[in-house]
């Protein structure tokens, strides 16, 4: 659901690219390898092109990692077929392209163009699950019982063909009209079922709207949007697959998990203390995830509570193991063991974790090139996560500063999302979210958490990407 959008003038993101030292091209040897792989694409022996897969992604995406087909099982339950782009079949171990993907780590998204993990000839071409094209994929087939519990998992390399490239907004409109295409007609039912299972086991999802910067003719749009329900349902299929992958690797004693400690009891206690002043009713016996799922983050007090809940989601990491299992293998947000395997076009770690799963499932040795990569991946992924996060934040901060540069001195209505902890010598302040334009920024003053206030714009500097308000 789109919440708000405001047009901003021309913006140059070049300085941000230079600051983050983002590459602007692939080395010639890596580019040649990608073009050779695209010219002679792999054709797996197993043919599943009879299955009518579809992809569901943002409308402008062309790096399509996942294709889906959902069906009911005879006798009850569901069969999930999830085809993931087989990137390892296109990238030669030890080659120039593999080396360059290790340098990049993941695709970095910026409003004026992506910095892809793989050359576009692969990421948006021969390896992408584009419609009406035969593609090499790693196919997960996951059978579920009527309650959404996993009863069987199969994994194979296969040739697949997507029938349609669908987008979230269109899919949501089709769902609202009761006209979803057959391959994903069960997605609302199954997504809701998997979400409910997650909440019962203690999963936590923060329903925060996202800020994006989108092109709009000669200018840019600063957009604040919340996910549509079908986007959340789609994410549940990815989570289901990631949990299946984690179980395979834990059973085999080797792999790469996405981990996060469970919410600390003292953090939960602080959050519970913040609930009543913000008008959030927290009944006994209701878990954090269940409570958050029922809140409307567009309402200022609820948004402030959700912002406070972000404190629970700390310490996410990649954890490699080979032999001894990790002491803490679970992901606190998922409330289960979980691995990244569903976005190999965009994320380096997924390629290697997938290869481990394929080997373990087939009861054969994990390839040396994949096994040797595991202990190196956590550090590389942590570094590239920081770069990707800095790019996203920097782009939004720049758009906010440009949008507001000519309005210094004006006053705005805002909601207080966060308040700094008092410290000696520290000026009081916190974070506010403007009603319009959709800006979220620092504000000085004694701020009432979760309340609506009037603030004055003190600074809006595109050169430093700094925006600062003061309580009026």
Residue 177 CA: distances (Å) to CA of 185, 202, 225, 228, 457: 12, 32, 22, 14, 44
Question: Comparing 300 with 445, which gets the higher pLDDT?
Answer: 445
pLDDT for residue 230 is more than 90: yes
Strands (E), 108-209: 134-144, 150-167
pLDDT for residue 403 is more than 50: yes
pLDDT of the residue at 3: 45
Where on the phi/psi map is residue 335: left (φ > 0), alpha (ψ -120 to 50), or beta?
left
Mean residue pLDDT of the chain comes to 93
- Which residues does residue 444 pair with via DSSP β-bridges, in sequence order? 429, 470
The answer to whether 272 and 227 have CB atoms below 8 angstroms apart is no
pLDDT of the residue at 4: 46
Q: Which of 179, 307, 299, 154 is nearest to 241 (CA)?
A: 154
Rounded to whole angstroms, how far apart are CA atoms 59 and 221? Answer: 16
Which DSSP string corresponds to 76-105? SSEEEEEEEE-GGGTS-TTSHHHHHHHHH-
**Residues 411-439 pLDDT 10s:** 999 999 999 988 888 899 999 999 888 89
Mean pLDDT of 34-60: 96
Cα R_g (the chain), whole angstroms: 23
Name the residue with tokens 């600062």. 468
pLDDT band at 175 (very low <50, low <70, confident <90, very high): very high
Q: Domains for the chain: give ranges and CATH numbers.
A: 13-262+313-399 (no CATH), 265-310 (no CATH), 406-471 (2.40.50.140)
Mean pLDDT of 333-355: 98
Strands (E), 286-380: 317-322, 330-331, 336-337
Q: Write out the H or E segment, with its range, that includes residue 247.
A: helix 229-252
Rounded to whole angstroms, how far apart are CA atoms 35 and 40? Answer: 9
**How many CB atoms are closer than 10 A to CB 295?**
17
pLDDT of the residue at 72: 98
Q: How many CA atoms lie within 13 A of 391 on its CB side?
A: 24
Rounded to whole angstroms, how far apart are CA atoms 356 and 176? Answer: 40
Rounded to whole angstroms, how far apart are CA atoms 130 and 125? Answer: 8
Q: Which of 186, 179, 149, 239 is nearest to 71 (CA)?
A: 186
Question: Comparing 440 with 33, which gets the higher pLDDT?
Answer: 33
pTM of the model: 0.93
């Amino acid at each position: 659901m789109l919440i708000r959008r405001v047009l901003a003038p021309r913006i140059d993101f070049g300085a941000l690219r230079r600051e983050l030292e983002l590459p602007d091209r692939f080395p010639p040897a890596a580019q040649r390898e990608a073009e050779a792989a695209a010219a002679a694409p792999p054709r797996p022996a197993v043919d599943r092109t009879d299955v009518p897969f579809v992809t569901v992604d943002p409308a402008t995406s062309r790096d399509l990692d996942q294709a889906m087909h959902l069906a009911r099982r005879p006798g009850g339950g569901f069969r999930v077929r999830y085809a993931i782009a087989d990137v390892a079949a296109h990238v030669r171990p030890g080659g120039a392209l593999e080396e360059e993907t290790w340098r990049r780590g993941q695709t970095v998204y910026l409003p004026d163009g992506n910095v892809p993990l793989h050359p576009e000839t692969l990421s948006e071409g021969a390896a992408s699950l584009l419609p009406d094209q035969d593609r090499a994929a790693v196919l997960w087939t996951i059978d579920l019982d009527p309650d959404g519990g996993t009863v069987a998992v199969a994994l194979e390399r296969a040739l697949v063909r997507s029938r349609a490239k669908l987008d979230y907004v269109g899919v949501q409109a089709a769902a609202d009209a009761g006209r979803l295409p057959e391959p994903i007609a069960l997605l609302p039912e199954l997504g809701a079922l998997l979400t409910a299972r997650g909440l019962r086991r203690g999963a936590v999802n923060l329903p925060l709207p996202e800020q994006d910067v989108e092109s709009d003719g000669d200018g840019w749009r600063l957009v604040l949007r919340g996910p549509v329900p079908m986007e959340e349902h789609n994410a549940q299929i990815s989570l289901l697959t990631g949990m299946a992958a984690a179980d395979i690797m834990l059973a085999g004693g080797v792999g790469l998990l996405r981990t996060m400690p469970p919410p600390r009891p003292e953090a939960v206690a602080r959050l519970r203390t913040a609930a009543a002043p913000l008008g959030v009713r927290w009944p006994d016996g209701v878990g954090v995830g269940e409570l958050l799922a029922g809140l409307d983050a567009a309402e200022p007090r609820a948004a402030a509570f959700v912002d406070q809940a972000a404190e629970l989601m700390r310490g996410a990491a990649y954890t490699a193991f080979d032999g001894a299992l990790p002491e803490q293998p679970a992901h606190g947000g998922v409330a289960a063991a979980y691995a990244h395997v569903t976005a190999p076009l965009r994320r380096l770690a997924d390629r290697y974790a997938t290869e481990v799963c394929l080997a373990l499932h087939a009861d054969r040795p994990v390839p040396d090139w994949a096994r040797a990569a595991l202990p190196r991946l956590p550090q590389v992924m942590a570094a590239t996560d920081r770069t990707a996060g800095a790019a996203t934040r920097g782009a939004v901060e720049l758009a906010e500063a440009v949008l507001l540069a000519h309005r210094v001195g004006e006053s705005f209505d805002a909601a207080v999302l966060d308040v700094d902890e008092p410290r000696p010598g520290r000026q009081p302040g916190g974070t506010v979210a403007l009603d319009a334009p959709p800006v979220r920024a620092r504000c000085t003053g004694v701020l009432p958490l979760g309340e609506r206030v009037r603030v004055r714009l003190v600074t809006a500097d595109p050169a430093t990407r700094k925006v600062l308000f003061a309580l009026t």
